Structure 1
């Protein structure tokens, strides 16, 4: 891990850990803003998710706020410590979207000053989302799983083609050698026939 990554990850994750702890401990103040989003989002998720997952989704907005806070705490700690950092960044990115829509719907504001403040907060969260997405795909200079799979498939394809060409070349070489042996055997047979005729007494 480079020094930049060692500093950047805790800096990026701190706000999520703090907000997540507050959401778990005291979710009630966040419920009024979260309610419109959860009322729309939860039914959609339950329709798409398998029964094993949909049955475990909390019904009340308070518990959903707590769940989102717990995800932020776990994701923030994973990103900050570097253990499961990419998964942690992905969880934070997923939790940030509904939090941003619920917390900063600037398009609903009529007061220009309030709308401007909410827009800034919304864009700030979008900037955080961009940083989280970069962290989610950061492999620290090492090939990622997708690259490895793609590279492995291409390498296997190249090896298969190389093996097929080599087998074809060897088959042709074997055919030539077999043909030469057949010619040599035929020539030897003719010579043997001539010798046998030469050794026969004249009648």
Structure 2
């Protein structure tokens, strides 16, 4: 924790703790001011139909969360709890409806102070103390995944091209081998035919020679 956070968090938490304790101890007046908000959120959030108890509980949550924020324990979660209970613990009074100038100025000052506290708590919810936030890590992971997918597609395309080229080369090689085999077979066939013709010619010559000898023997 930096020195700025060590100072800023207790300063922000002090009025929140004070207001939370005050609301928890004396919830009746705050429950009356928070009734419009409670009437709207009690149904969806399934809150008890007891404004005083809800306001007291919200005050206690604000006081505890403010204390944790002041000492730097679970600061983002604590700030989120403060923001969630702010509509009940820090009700915004419509100062513009007040006709008394003095009361209007007082309510306006309270209104501005409340907005400032809520704004500070909102900033605390996103303070990651210099560490990458979950959203940032998520975006980085998505980018890394997208890059990996693109690289995988490129590798797959290159592999497909290599396989296709290898197939073409293998086909050409096989065709050449088949053609060469056919040529060799043709040459072998021609040689065999010539050899057979030579053998046949020799045998024919021998037969003629034997026939002439036989004829000469008969004449004698």
SS in 1 for 2:130: coil
**1:178 is matched with which residue?**
167
1:72 correspondence with 2:29? no
Moved more, 65-74 or 13-22: 13-22
Instruction: Give the structure-2-normalised TM-score.
Output: 0.79
What does 1:1-203 align with in structure 2 at a 5 Å threshold?
1-24=1-24, 26-27=25-26, 30-38=27-35, 40-49=36-45, 54=46, 57-101=47-91, 104-200=93-189, 201-203=192-194
Partners of 1:37 and 1:68 in 2: how far apart?
A: 11
Partners of 2:51 and 2:181 in 1: how far apart?
A: 102
The answer to whether the 8 A contact 2:33-2:91 is kept is no
Instruction: Give the structure-1-normalised TM-score.
Output: 0.85
Deviations 1:27-76 (A, max 9, x none): 1xx423431422x3333223323xxxx1xx33333212211211112211
SS in 2 for 1:138: coil
Q: CA deviation at 1:172?
A: 0.9
- The number of residues matched between the two structures is 192
Higher relative contact order (CA 8 A, sep 6+): 1
Partners of 1:37 and 1:20 in 2: how far apart?
A: 14
Give the greater-gyration-radius structure (CA).
2
SS in 2 for 1:101: coil
Gaps of 5+ in 1: none
